[in-house]
Structure 1
Amino acid sequence: MPEEFTRFLTLFDRLVRYSDDWVARMDAGKMDWAPIENASTRFGTRVSRITVRSLLIHTVLAERNWVRAIPVCEPGGVIPLPSDPAAAARFEDGDLRATALALHEENLEALGRYTPADLGRKVHFVGREWSGMGLLWGMYAHRAFHVGNIDIYLRQSDVVGPEFFEFNPAIMA
């Protein structure tokens, strides 16, 4: 596999596990807390009440969608917006963090089956053309964006989040 993909896997796994540290610091009673609620506090049409719980679930389900869609998408095809009721239902009765990490492990398994053709495939998502590898980096950026949102919520609840670049283990890609 290309070195870039190997590097991506390392960095993505570190970011997912590190973002779990952010969620772990949030008081359990504030997982559904929305410190600011107004018409602008939303992400598109699918996330209308922004809480730590909703941000994490949104992020995990989006990752699941992209990881599964890229290798089966026809070249030049369109990857749909995330819609996976079965995966979403796993969050209803389970531990939020454990479910998120279990779905991440499933994503890593699926990524392990990727081929160079999957990484080079041209796909479309939200009206933009991506290579498979480019969309994976977009997925990384999407998680980092929402980790920033979670960090703000932590700080608003008087909890300091982890230092961003201090991933574990310390050896990066």
Structure 2
Amino acid sequence: MTEEFKRFLALFDSMVRYSHRWIGLMDEQKLDWAPIENPSMRFGSRLSRITVRGLLIHCALAERNFVTRIRESAPGATVPLPNDPIAAARFENADLQQTALTLHEENMAALKSYRAEDLTKKLQFVGREWTGMGLLWGMYAHRSFHLGNIDIYLRQSDVVAPEFFEFDSLVLG
């Protein structure tokens, strides 16, 4: 396991767990709240009503897709956009936070089984070439991007969001 990959695992796990603490600060009724609804409030063509619940599910399913596809794909393959109805169904009538954390723990276990060639192989995603490791850092950035969206929703619902860099772990890599 490379030092970079160890660093990634520590930072990614800390970011996901920390973002769940943020969501835990929000009133449960506000998880489905969309403070601004207009045609420009969308992420691509797949996410058109942006709520904290929707963002958390979106991140969890995207991460499941990346973790699975990087490991399973042949070099040069195209990683598709997330589309896993079985994983998505796990959120139906279930505890949002617990379901997302369970998926995260499954992802962390899968990541720990990665081989060196999984991290160095070249893959295509959204018309760009990535290494497996590069795509994992992209996944980290994706979560961070949406944590910024959640930060704004917290503030708009009169909750002071935590400081970004104050993850639970004191040693991060």
CA distance in 2, matches of 1:35, 1:75: 43
Partner of 1:70: 70
CA distance in 2, matches of 1:71, 1:55: 24
CA distance in 1, matches of 2:72, 2:96: 28
Aligned residues between the structures: 173
The CA deviation string for residues 37-86 of structure 1, in whole angstroms up to 9 with x for no partner, is: 01100001111100000000000000000000001111111000000111
What is the identity, as a one-letter code, of the residue corresponding to 2:119? L
Q: 1:51 and 2:21 equivalent?
A: no
What TM-score, normalized by structure 1, do the two folds share? 0.99
Partner of 1:84: 84
The CA deviation string for residues 1-42 of structure 1, in whole angstroms up to 9 with x for no partner, is: 111000000000000000001110111001000000011000
Partner of 2:172: 172
Q: 1:29 and 2:29 equivalent?
A: yes
CA distance in 2, matches of 1:39, 1:76: 36
The 5 Å alignment of 1:145-156 reads 145-156=145-156
SS at match of 1:31: helix
CA distance in 2, matches of 1:88, 1:162: 28
CA distance in 1, matches of 2:171, 2:137: 20
Partner of 1:98: 98
CA distance in 2, matches of 1:125, 1:73: 12
What is the identity, as a one-letter code, of the residue corresponding to 1:148? G
The 5 Å alignment of 1:83-162 reads 83-162=83-162
Structure 1 outlier segments of 4+, above 2 Å? none
User: What is the root-mean-square deviation of aligned Cα atoms in Å?
Assistant: 0.6
CA distance in 2, matches of 1:98, 1:128: 33
The CA deviation string for residues 123-172 of structure 1, in whole angstroms up to 9 with x for no partner, is: 00111100000000000000000000000000000001111111112121
What is the identity, as a one-letter code, of the residue corresponding to 1:141? A
CA distance in 1, matches of 2:69, 2:84: 12
What is the identity, as a one-letter code, of the residue corresponding to 1:126? V
SS at match of 2:91: helix
CA distance in 2, matches of 1:172, 1:68: 24
Shift of 1:93: 1.3
Residue ranges of structure 2 left out of the alignment (5+ in a row): none
